Amino acid sequence: MEEVVTGDNVSMNTLEDLQFQNTYASLPDVFHERVKPTPFPNPYLVSVNPAAAKLLNIDVKEWTRPEFAEYFCGAKLLPGSDPIAMLYSGHQFGHYVPQLGDGRAILLGEVRNQKGERWELQLKGAGLTRFSRDGDGRAVMRSTIREYLCGEAMHGLGIPTTRSLCIVAGEEVVWRETPEPGAMLLRMAPTHVRFGSFEVFYYRRQHEYLKTLADYVIEYHYPHLVGEENGYARLLHEVAVRTGHLVAQWQAVGWAHGVLNTDNMSILGLTMDYGPFGFMERYDPTFICNHSDHHGRYSFQNQPDIGYWNIRALARALSPFVEEADVNATPEVYEKAMTGKYAELMRAKLGLVEAHAGDDKLVTDLLNLMDSSRADYTTLFRVLGTIRQVSSTVPSEFRDQFLHREACDDWTARYRERLRAEKSDDAERQARMDHVNPKYILRNHLAQRAITQAVQQKDYSEIDRLLNLLSDPFTEQLGMEAYAAPPPPGEPSIIVSCSS
Rounded distance, CA 376 to CA 401, Å? 8
Phi then psi for residue 416, to 5 deg, are: -65, -40
Residue 264 makes contact with Mg ion by CB under 5 A: yes
Q: Which residues pair with 163 in a beta bridge?
A: 188
Which residue in the set 104, 155, 187, 347 belongs to the binding site for ligand AMP (CB under 6 A)?
Answer: 104
Q: Where are the alpha helices (DSSP H) in 57-110?
A: 66-71
Rounded distance, CA 95 to CA 113, Å? 39
Least distance from C-beta 185 to Mg ion, angstroms? 13
Residue 32 makes contact with ligand AMP by CB under 6 A: no
Q: Between 143 and 401, name the residue whose CB sits nearer to ligand AMP.
A: 143
Residue 103 makes contact with ligand AMP by CB under 6 A: yes
Stretch that binds Mg ion, among 79-87, 269-277, 343-351, 405-413 (CB under 5 A): 269-277
Nearest to 349 by CA among 371, 305, 379: 379
Three-class secondary structure of residue 96 per DSSP: strand
Residue 421 interacting partner from Mg ion, ligand AMP, none (CB closer than 5 to 8 Å by kind): none
Confirm whether 102 is a catalytic residue. no
Phi then psi for residue 276, to 5 deg, are: -85, 40
Q: Between 153 and 272, name the residue whose CB sits nearer to Mg ion.
A: 272
Q: How far is CA 16 from the centre of its chain?
A: 29
Residue 273 makes contact with Mg ion by CB under 5 A: yes
Q: Where are the alpha helices (DSSP H) in 50-140?
A: 50-55, 66-71
Q: Which residues contact 245 (CB under 8 A, 6 or more apart)?
A: 269, 337, 338, 341
102, 263, 273, 293: the catalytic one is: 263
Between 108 and 147, how does the x/- string for binding to ligand AMP read (CB under 6 A)? -----------------------xx--xxxx---------
Least distance from C-beta 170 to ligand AMP, angstroms? 16
Count of residues engaged in binding ligand AMP, rule: CB under 6 A: 16
Q: Between 75 and 265, name the residue whose CB sits nearer to Mg ion.
A: 265
Rounded distance, CA 20 to CA 26, Å? 12
Question: CB 358: neighbour CB atoms within 10 A?
Answer: 10
Which residue in the set 39, 43, 101, 385 belongs to the binding site for ligand AMP (CB under 6 A)?
Answer: 101
Q: Between 197 and 264, name the residue whose CB sits nearer to Mg ion.
A: 264
Residues that bind ligand AMP (CB under 6 A): 100-104, 131-132, 135-138, 259, 264, 273, 275, 498
> Which of the residues are catalytic?
263
